[in-house]
């Protein structure tokens, strides 16, 4: 992973656990300038957790940088990889409430919200629920869980570009169950037997890790080949997809009227296979006031050099 376009590595000056109810504790951290402009980073997946390099999108002299792991993943507990994992209290509404609780606990009046992929969906949902708490939005790889988005990547559309990798994604699912792959995966991912759920989780997670960059990233694929990480990631994603984010079709794009006053930048890779540009374009069409940046030599990942440069430019612009 080449991160030359970002700020140098930094360490958090404060970390903690936030008790959010329902038995869940969220890991959170703050880095950068304690007196700086607050920004909260919303990671993707859902279920991927945060990584130290994600602090580097923000000028550490200008920003008070908040990262946290959403329910069930990363360093938050209980972890969704447990054989008896209960995801009933991991929903969009719960995550929005968690962000608000974290904001209040950190004494933040208003903050910039930065999110990519699933994080872009959560950022839109949070902003629409709490517009008064959001100073700006920086969004990348737009994903809103509409039917056409899920069917493209998880039900067969993207197989046209990656037929070799698609065969590996199909492998855990019997032929007679392949008419609805998300539901077929759901049955396996939530089987308590590791001999059933781990192969399914690895196939699901590797499919995504193998296709999110313009060129294959061996390190990213290896990271998503860890059974514990892959199980939590696949289970939480699948749980949200089966429930369509608990949104009506097209809700997030239809809801931009309530947030169009918030300064925003939308960054989209032209060759994004995971969250194709059609969704970013629909959001841009509905919300022309937001700046729309298309990176012609990038796929989905925030680690792509062109995506990095565009995101850093956005956060630099809003740093004042």
Q: So what's the pLDDT on residue 54?
A: 98
**Domain finish residue from 179, 214, 243:** 243
In the block, which residue shows the tokens 């939530």?
190
Same structural domain, 110 and 61: yes
Same structural domain, 214 and 251: no
- How far is residue 56's CA from residue 7's CA, in Å, rounded to a whole number? 5
pTM here is 0.97
- pLDDT tens digit at each of 320 positions of the chain: 677 899 999 999 999 999 999 999 999 999 999 999 999 999 999 999 999 999 999 999 999 999 999 999 999 999 999 988 899 999 999 999 999 999 999 999 999 999 999 999 999 999 999 999 999 999 999 999 999 999 999 999 999 999 999 999 999 999 999 999 999 999 999 999 999 999 999 999 999 999 999 988 888 888 888 999 999 999 999 999 999 999 999 999 999 999 999 999 999 999 999 999 999 999 999 999 999 999 999 999 999 999 999 999 999 999 98
Same structural domain, 37 and 136: yes
Same structural domain, 43 and 137: yes
Provide the annotated active-site residues: 117, 272, 300
Q: Are 39 and 320 in contact (CB under 8 A)?
A: no
Q: So what's the pLDDT on residue 219?
A: 84
Domain that holds residue 286: 14-147+246-318
Q: So what's the pLDDT on residue 218?
A: 86
**Domain finish residue from 189, 224, 243:** 243
Residue 5 lies in a domain: no
Q: So what's the pLDDT on residue 299?
A: 96
- H or E segment and range at residue 64: strand 63-68
Residue 3 lies in a domain: no
Task: Look up the CATH number of the domain holding residue 36.
Answer: 3.40.50.1820
Residue 293 lies in a domain: yes
Q: So what's the pLDDT on residue 276?
A: 97
Number of compact structural domains in the chain? 2
- How far is residue 203's CA from residue 79's CA, in Å, rounded to a whole number? 20
Same structural domain, 35 and 132: yes
Same structural domain, 23 and 97: yes
- How far is residue 301's CA from residue 296's CA, in Å, rounded to a whole number? 13
- How far is residue 64's CA from residue 37's CA, in Å, rounded to a whole number? 5
């Amino acid at each position: 992973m080449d991160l030359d376009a970002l700020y140098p590595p930094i360490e958090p000056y404060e970390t903690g656990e936030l008790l959010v109810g329902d038995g869940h504790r969220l890991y959170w951290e703050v880095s950068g300038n304690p007196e700086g402009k607050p920004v909260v980073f919303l990671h993707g997946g859902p279920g991927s957790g945060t990584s130290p390099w994600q602090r580097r999108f923000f000028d550490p002299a200008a920003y008070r940088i908040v990262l946290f792991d959403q329910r069930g993943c990363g360093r938050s507990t209980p972890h969704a990889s447990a054989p008896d994992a209960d995801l009933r209290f991991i929903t969009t509404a719960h995550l929005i409430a968690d962000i608000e609780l974290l904001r209040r606990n950190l004494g933040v009046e208003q903050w910039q919200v930065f999110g990519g992929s699933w994080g872009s969906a959560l950022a839109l949902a949070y902003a629409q629920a709490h517009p008064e708490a959001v100073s700006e939005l920086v969004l990348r790889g737009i994903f809103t869980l509409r039917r056409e988005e899920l069917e493209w990547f998880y039900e067969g559309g993207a197989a046209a570009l990656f037929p070799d990798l698609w065969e590996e994604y199909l492998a855990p699912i019997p032929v007679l169950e392949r008419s609805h792959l998300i539901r077929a995966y759901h049955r396996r991912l939530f089987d308590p037997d590791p001999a059933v759920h781990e192969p399914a989780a690895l196939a699901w997670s590797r499919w995504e890790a193998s296709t999110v960059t313009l060129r294959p990233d061996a390190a990213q694929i290896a990271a998503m080949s860890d059974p514990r990480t892959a199980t939590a990631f696949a289970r939480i994603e699948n749980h949200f997809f089966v429930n369509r984010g608990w949104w009506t079709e097209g809700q997030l794009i239809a809801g931009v009227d309530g947030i169009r006053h918030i300064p925003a930048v939308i960054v989209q890779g032209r060759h994004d296979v995971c969250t194709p540009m059609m969704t970013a374009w629909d959001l841009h069409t509905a919300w022309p006031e937001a700046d729309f940046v298309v990176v012609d030599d990038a796929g989905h990942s925030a680690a792509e050099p062109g995506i990095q440069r565009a995101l850093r430019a956005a956060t630099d612009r809003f740093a004042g």
